Structures are given as C-alpha cells and as structure tokens.
Amino acid sequence: MKKYNVAIVGATGAVGSEMLRCVLEFNFPYESIKLLASARSAGKTISQNGIDFVVEELTADSFEGIDVAFWSAGGSISEKYMDAAVKAGCVNIDNSSHFRMDPNVPLVVPEVNSEALRDHKGIIANPNCTTIMMCSAVNRIEEVFGIEKITVSTYQAVSGAGVAAMDELYAQSRDVLDGKEPIAKVLPSGGDKKHYPIAFNCIPQVDVFNLENGYSKEEMKMVNETKKIFGKDIKVNATCVRVPVLRGHSESIHIQTKKPLDMPLVFEVLANSTGVHLYDDLANQIYPMPTAFIGDEMVHVGRVRQDLFSDHGLNMWAVSDQLMKGAAYNSIDIGLKMIEMGIL
Ligand code: NAP
Ligand code: 12T
C-alpha cells in the first residue's frame, strides 16, 4: 500500500492537534508527518502516541515533497499559502471557510457526497462543524423521506473558536467562582467591537453578523453549505448560540419531510446510518450529551420525536465532538475515502 508524506498546517491548534491524533489512530498510511504552525511555535515538540514531533514554521516552501496536507490555521493562512501547496502537487484538505463555496472546490461529508471528491483540483474543503454534524444526522432521512426544510438551533462549545476561547472559559469560570469580574477578550468569535463573558452565560452570536438579513455568518454557512453538500434545495433556518461547554456541539433539529413519516422506519433508518449513533432510550434516560462523547468521531442522535401537529415533522437532538467529526476526523476521513476511491 502506498504511504504518504503528510503535512498538518496549524498543528498546534485545537483542530490541528486532533488532526495529528486522527492520522495516527485512524491509520492514515503515512510515510512522514510534518507539523506546521507560526514562527511562534517553530521548534516546539509535540508528543502523540509516544512519538515526538518538532513543529516547523509554515512558509511557501513547506510543501515540496508533501503528498497531502490537512489545513486548520484559519482562512487567511489558507488563502496566502494554498497556491504554493497546489503548485507543489500537494492535495489539500482545508478546514477554513475560505474555499467552501468556491464552485471549483468540493465540499465533502464522506457519507453524504464522497463522489464530489472526483472533481477536485488540488483543494477539498471541509464544511463548517455545525453543518457537518447536521448533514450527517439527517442524510438517511433525506434519502428515505426527502427533506423540504430544516429549522435548527445550535448549542456550540467554546473550543469551536479555538484554544484561546477554551482558556477564556476556564479563566472566567474561576473568576466568577472567586467573586471577581470575568474578563472577556475572545468571545463572541468575530465580535470585533464587543466581547461578552461566556462563563455561566449563552451568547447568540457565532462569527460576525450579516447586517442585511440579520443572520450570523455561522448561520448562513449552515444555509449555504447544506445546499452545496446535498446538491439540493434543502431550506435551512438556523440560530447559532455559544454555550459554556468546553467541547462538543449540540443541535436541536426540526425536519420538515416531503413524504409522511413512519416513525418505526425513522428509528430503523437512524440506527443504520453511517457515522450516526442512535442513542435514544427514554425509559432509561438515555440521550446524547457533549461530555459523554469527547474525542469520539460519531454524530450521536437522541430525543427523536414526531411533530405533535404534523406527520411531515420530525424533532431530534444531535451531539458531536466538533473538533472530531466537525473538523479533524472529517478531514482525515476525506483523505482515507480518497485512497479507497483510488484518487489519492
Ligand atoms: P486555534 O486553536 O486558534 O489554532 C490556530 C492554528 O493556526 C495554530 O496552530 C496556529 O499556530 C496556527 N497559525 C496561526 N497563525 C499562523 C501563521 N501566521 N502561520 C502559520 N500558522 C498559523 O484554532 P482552531 O480552532 O484549531 O481553528 C483553526 C481553523 O479551523 C479555523 O479556520 C477554523 O475556522 C477552522 N475550524 C475550526 C473548527 C473547530 O471546531 N475548532 C471546526 C471547523 C473548522 P500557533 O500556535 O503557532 O499560533
Ligand atoms: N467562527 O469553520 O467560532 O467556519 O466556533 C468554525 C467555528 C468558524 C468555520 C466558531 C467559526 C468556523 C467557528
């Protein structure tokens, strides 16, 4: 089997460090692994699975001899260095939002639309974390019943905004418990004018607002990316909220189906959906919660109920470690899928 020279761009970050773990634990066939980050991190050692890796500074020359690069250093870094990587012949799987809506770039959740990978031109985009978990959770419902519209509210963990936001939740929680005023410098993400404390709070802003229509960019990613991934006009209404959870996004999802629902079939379909774990047993108070699934790569679905007033309405609760399925794992899974399809 071919072995690949792998690079991880943004390897010291919340997503990048999970990417390294995923490459090792999901047996991505590597020959070498190069960890790249800013000049601040150059020379740092990262230990994973008993192996020590030394971080190198990202430059335009970093991609010579690299077969596949997994990117999670933010949109501006992807924008600046992607050309050099593509020219060096490297296949790039990018976690930033920069290329997602580019018609020349496939946007992929492997269990939903892996065929789109065949059209890549050196760049594949990893969708937004909230979008990936929703698309994975509803994929088989779409196949069996057809989806007209989704109404979703998210409960997003601070780690979605990176290491700095995780540090902020810890520090603020400590300050509040010590009777001190919490200091807010990071969240809401994209909040360039104002910051609010997340400890013991909820913030109905993730990423910046689109002042024309009142939705946040995060909400519009769910609208636009879902359409692109399914290649269908699935309508999405989203409300994205940051909650004081360290790791793992949750979503309350309402689906309006095209065909009338058959609830026993709904449960059967969800129990047999790739990437989905149906975790729903009310008599025993079983339902997914973020702390139960840290480090796990599945989307966990529970609280599955029919709309009380319509046989075309379905309610469910989905939970996933967004650093895994929403970011690192989905990217490594894209790479593994490409190998399986013979296109990497
Ligand atoms: P993070 O924890 O803040 O990590 C950022 C990474 O980027 C660090 O490794 C950092 O290196 C590196 N970096 C920053 N400036 C750089 C530069 N000038 N040159 C090279 N490397 C640089 O952020 P994160 O949460 O991992 O997110 C990173 C990206 O993934 C973002 O595009 C985000 O939108 C996307 N994403 C995140 C999630 C999620 O759930 N977190 C989900 C999907 C997509 P240093 O340590 O050296 O600064
Ligand atoms: N602003 O990948 O703040 O587009 O939680 C993911 C997470 C952007 C993205 C966040 C963000 C993305 C966040």
Domain 131-322 has CATH 3.50.50.60: no
Tokens at 109, concatenated: 């959740």
Atom of ligand 1 nearest to the CA of 157: 40
Q: How confident is the model at residue 191 (pLDDT cuts 50, 70, 90)?
A: confident
* CA–CA gap between residue 63 and residue 81 (Å, rounded): 10
pLDDT at 218: 98
Q: Give 192's pLDDT tier (boundaries 50, 70, 90).
A: confident
**To test the ligand 2 pocket, which listed residue (18, 129, 205, 215) has its Cβ within 8 A of the most ligand atoms?**
129
What is the pTM (predicted TM-score) of this model? 0.97
Structure tokens at 98: 């920069």
**Which H helix or E strand runs over 142?**
helix 129-145
Q: Which of 80, 92, 95, 185 has most ligand 1 atoms within 8 Å of CB, for mutation?
A: 95
Could you tell me the distance, in angstroms and rounded to a whole number, from the CA of residue 239 to the centre of ligand 1?
24
Please identify, by atom number, the ligand 2 atom nearest to the C-alpha of residue 95.
2
Residue 20, pLDDT score: 98
Residue 127, pLDDT score: 98
Per-residue pLDDT at 63: 98
Identity of residue 49:
N
Q: How far apart are CA 7 and CA 62, in angstroms?
A: 9
pLDDT in tens, 196-213: 999 999 999 999 999 999
Q: Is 75 in the pocket of ligand 1 (CB under 6 A)?
A: yes
Percent of the chain beyond pLDDT 90?
A: 98
- Residue 182 pLDDT exceeds 80: yes
- Contact indicator for 177, 169 with CB cutoff of 8 Å: no
| Residue with CA closest to ligand 1 atom 19 | 38
> Residue 179 Cα, ligand 1 centroid: separation in angstroms?
32
pLDDT digits (tens, 9 = 90+) for 19-53: 999 999 999 999 999 999 999 999 999 999 999 99
Query: Which of the following is catalytic: 129, 240, 277, 300?
Result: 129
Break the chain into its structural domains and give their ranges.
Answer: 4-127+327-341, 131-322
Residue 115 CA to residue 126 CA, distance in Å, equals: 14
In this prediction, residues 70-74 reach a mean pLDDT of 98
Domain 4-127+327-341 has CATH 3.40.50.720: yes
Q: How far does the centroid of ligand 1 lie from the alpha carbon of residue 164, in Å?
A: 10
**Catalytic residue status for 249:** yes
Place of tokens 């995780």: 166
Ligand 1 in reach of 248 Cβ (< 6 A): no
Nearest to 252 by CA among 194, 318, 170: 318
Quote the CA–CA distance of 312 and 338 in Å, as a whole number.
36
Q: What pairs with residue 71 in β-bridges?
A: 9, 94
Return the pLDDT at 190.
86
One-letter amino acid for residue 308 of the chain? L
Mean pLDDT, residues 146-162 taken together: 98
In angstroms, the CA 290 to CA 157 distance is: 9
Are the C-beta atoms of 87 and 64 separated by less than 8 Å? no
- Mutation probe of ligand 2 site: the residue of 156, 198, 218, 325 with most atoms within 8 A of C-beta: 218
**Could you give the CA distance from residue 138 to residue 147 in angstroms, rounded to a whole number?**
9
Res. 184 pLDDT band, cuts 50 70 90: very high
Nearest residue to 7 (alpha-carbon basis) of 106, 99, 75, 16? 16
CB contact at 8 A, 343 and 117: yes
Q: Which residue, among 315, 259, 241, has the nearest Cα to 144 in the 3D structure?
A: 259
**What is the residue-averaged pLDDT of the chain?**
98
- CB under 6 Å to ligand 2: residues? 97, 128-129, 156, 160-161, 189-190, 206-207, 218, 221
Nearest ligand to residue 327 Cα: 1
**Which percentage of the chain shows pLDDT scores above 70?**
100
148 in Cβ contact with 258 (< 8 Å)? yes
Ligand 2 centre distance from Cα of residue 264 (Å): 36
| Known active-site residue 129 | yes
Cβ of 38 closer than 6 Å to ligand 1, yes or no, is yes
Smallest CA-to-CA distance from 159 within 248, 236, 83 is with 248
Instruction: Say how many Å lie between the CA of residue 12 and the centre of ligand 1.
Output: 8
Q: Helices H, strands E: what count in the chain? A: 8, 13
Ligand 2 atom nearest to CA at 242 = 5
Please report, in angstroms and rounded to a whole number, the separation of the first and last CA atoms in the chain. 12
Residue 50 CA, ligand 2 centroid: distance in Å: 31
